[in-house]
Amino acid sequence: MKIAVCVKQVPDTWAEKKLRSDDSTLDREAADGVMNELDEYAVEEALKLQEAHGGEITIITMGPERAGETVRKALSMGADAAVHLVDDSLHGSDALATSYALATILTGRDFDLVFFGSESTDARMSVVPAMVAERLGVAQLTFAQKVDVDGTSVTIQRVTDYGFETVVANMPAVVSVVEKINEPRYPSFKGIMAAKKKPVETLSTVDAGLEGSQLGLAAAWTVVEDFAARPPKAAGTIVTDEGDGGVKLAEFLATQKFI
Amino acid sequence: MPSAPQRPLDLFAIDHLLSEEERAMRDVVRAYVDAQIKPRVAGWFESGEIPARELALELGELGVLGMHLEGYDCAGTSAVAYGLACMELEAGDSGIRSLVSVQGSLAMYAIHAFGSDEQKATWLPRMAAGSAIGCFGLTEADFGSNPSGMRTNAKRDGDDWILNGSKMWITNGNIADVAVVWAQTDDGIRGFVVPTDSPGFTANAIHMKMSLRASVTSELVFTDIRLPGSAMLPGVKGLKGPLSCLNEARFGILFGTMGAARDCLETAISYSIDREQFDKPIASYQLTQKKLADMALELGKGTLLALHLGRLKDEHLIRPEQISVGKLNNAREALNIARECRGILGGNGITLEYPIIRHMNNLESVYTYEGTNEMHTLVVGEALTGIAAYR
């Protein structure tokens, strides 16, 4: 089985995120980069399927040169090879451009399954997996909390607000995962040392056969007109209990529409 | 408006001195310690019990056990990477780092360096995986700094050996599957690989400790243990065997102590920013800032020293007296930092809600084990003068 896992380097989850003053894009230099947390679950799920069914795992990422750290982390966890699309012209690409680039790289590589984390912690749109599936013309199985592969089909439990749905599709298919699905492993020291020797194919947009007109900030379908820092936290309301604390709390919750 | 606080080691741009691979290994151990050790270790310290078998398997999976050894399923990392792992483990607890030091640098190293092919193949892969735990018997109740006086002895009986005696202060003793035991023979001091299920082997746990409570410490007693001739470590004779193992473990301590000190200082800085007295944070008082600045300097200097000695070790240039320089300085300064931080936290500093008094009490052991402060001082004194003052 051939599995691709699309991963993204994002600013450290706990770091304060900033936008650049010149073009209003995310300032990726302002914080340490880490692998998007949900993507670790995607890598783990691919590794588990590989352990059960054999095959090869390829990591796919697009991002600046330092995103190579995230590629190496995925390889340290146990993936076999990677493709890294890196090009200045990708800067500012929106979800449509990202899905175009990823789908173009995936096309012709004959993957049975393409895994994604169900969202990135920086953009939080959850649309790229669906867009990539659409562009590839294959089934999309999103928000999976369980994945099973049987012969030529893949079955997932898709998390909904009310429980889960069981969804089955023929492979190839795109699967996005939620954090309930597994517990990602730590890279082992042997894995970290072996990662250095694993093949990483570095592609420019030209190498990947991408049209420049569909990429980057200029091609984005949305524009950030203006932004402002979040205002500092306002002081909370202090409820003094004079025998009626419970009622006051309930009234507060009601005015905030919590109850 | 105050600016965002920097972490103490960022003052020294320590990460700039590390390769991406070294940072990746450090980050894995840090993430493991943050998730698996720090939330649980105060409880282990309080109860004096640790799930050592479970931890050994987890540490084996990461590749920490014997990580700087080559072959036999060991990861084969650099000495610096091993040091960085010790630093992160001891930022969790000195007891956890001790478990790893004794397994990797004492027991596994002894077998790796001096063992027969059979001894290596029998024990090292299982010890690297954490499914077998090792301990190291050198110190005796009456022979600490002067191990050459040891009374434990092994006598020939045909092809076999008969081992008698006892060892004291043995980390991992009660949980070990195998003990590397040093004993007097007619041919000088020799090492023996002793399975702990050998008839005549007893381990007695040492209780009522006020330090390293999240660590197993034991007395080992050997009563007419019959060992095959193949149990002796063939590769070394005399005290240089165990002493070279101790140099390996001491090397990990150079880094480990700085991990414990870092955890204390980071805790004290964060506490001093949050804790208000006389209507302002105690961090805004000059007395507190001087303490914090002085401690950050010692932490940074000790960490730079550890890294420098680590690079020397990776180039096979390090000398034993240089390890003494590092152990002497870093154990001493870490203990000073822990005590000063304890004061900054006031009453909160004595509880296990914060890591500081746990580190402080642990460092009291680290200060004297693996060569006391006094012995390392005399090693440095001898290096400077050419005169050995401890004889």
Q: Quick one: pLDDT at residue A26?
A: 86
Q: Are B28 and A186 an interchain contact pair (Cβ–Cβ within 8 Å)?
A: yes
With CA atoms as reference, report the closest residue to B144 among B377, B321, B383, B368: B368
Q: What CATH code is carried by the domain that includes residue B60?
A: 1.10.540.10
Residue A225 domain-assigned (yes or no): no
Residue B252 domain-assigned (yes or no): yes
Q: What CATH code is carried by the domain that includes residue A204?
A: 3.40.50.620
Residue A176 domain-assigned (yes or no): yes
φ/ψ of residue B281, rounded to 5: -60, 140
Long-range contacts of residues B272-276, Cβ cutoff 8 Å, at least 24 apart: B272/B344, B273/B5
Cβ under 8 Å to A: B residues 42-71: 61-64, 67
* Helix, strand or coil, per DSSP, at residue B1: coil
Cis peptide before A172 (omega within 30 of 0): yes
| B101, B44: one domain | yes
Give the contacts of A25 (CB within 8 A, at least 6 positions apart).
Answer: A19, A91, A92, A217, A224
Structural domain for A44, as ranges: 2-219
Q: Are A189 and B61 an interchain contact pair (Cβ–Cβ within 8 Å)?
A: no
Q: Are A69 and B25 an interchain contact pair (Cβ–Cβ within 8 Å)?
A: no
| B256, B360: one domain | yes
Provide the number of structural domains found in chain B: 3
Residue B98 domain-assigned (yes or no): yes
Q: If DSSP states are collapsed to H, E and C, what string results for A66-129?
A: HHHHHHHHHHHHCCCEEEEECCHHHCCCCHHHHHHHHHHHHCCCCCCEEEEECCCCCCCCCCHH
Residue A181 domain-assigned (yes or no): yes
ipTM of the complex as predicted: 0.83
In angstroms, the CA B145 to CA B147 distance is 6
DSSP characters over B29-78: HHHHIIIIIHHHHHHHHHHT---HHHHHHHHHHHT-TTTTS-STT-----
Specify the amino acid at residue A224: V
In this complex, which of B20, B31, B77 lies closest to A189 when CB atoms are compared? B77
More confident call, A13 vs B374: B374
Q: What CATH code is carried by the domain that includes residue B161?
A: 2.40.110.10
In angstroms, the CA B156 to CA B159 distance is 7
Provide the number of structural domains found in chain A: 1
Q: Which helix (H) or strand (E) holds B167?
A: strand B160-171
Chain A touched by B187 (CB under 8 Å): no
Q: What CATH code is carried by the domain that includes residue B252?
A: 1.20.140.10
| B30, B53: one domain | yes
**Min Cα separation B81/chain A (Å):** 10
Per-residue pLDDT of chain B (391 residues; tens, 9 = 90+): 567 888 999 999 999 999 999 999 999 999 999 999 999 999 999 999 999 999 999 999 999 999 999 999 999 999 999 999 999 999 999 999 999 999 999 999 999 999 999 999 999 999 999 999 999 999 999 999 889 999 999 999 999 999 999 999 999 999 999 999 999 999 999 999 999 999 999 999 999 999 999 999 999 999 999 999 999 999 999 999 999 998 888 999 999 999 999 999 999 999 999 999 999 999 999 999 999 999 999 999 999 999 999 999 999 999 999 999 999 999 999 999 999 999 999 999 999 999 999 999 999 999 999 999 999 999 999 999 999 998 7
Measured CA to CA in angstroms, residue A122 lies from A9, A44, A183, B83 at distances of: 9, 21, 21, 34
User: Could you say which of B113, B129, B145 is where a domain stops?
Assistant: B129
Residue B1 domain-assigned (yes or no): no
**Min Cα separation A199/chain B (Å):** 16
The answer to whether the beta carbons of residues B37 and B64 sit under 8 Å apart is no
In angstroms, the CA B259 to CA B83 distance is 10
* Helix, strand or coil, per DSSP, at residue B146: coil
Structural domain for B202, as ranges: 134-231
Residue A52 domain-assigned (yes or no): yes
In this complex, which of B24, B64, B81 lies closest to A187 when CB atoms are compared? B24
A interface with B, Cβ–Cβ below 8 Å: 69, 72-73, 76, 186-193, 196
Catalytic residues of B, by residue number, are 370
User: Could you say which of B97, B129, B161 is where a domain stops?
Assistant: B129
In angstroms, the CA A70 to CA A74 distance is 6
pTM assigned to the model:
0.89
Confidence bin at A18 (pLDDT 50/70/90) = confident
Q: Which of A186, A196, A198 to mutate to test the interface with B (most CBs of B within 10 A)?
A: A186
Residue A237 domain-assigned (yes or no): no
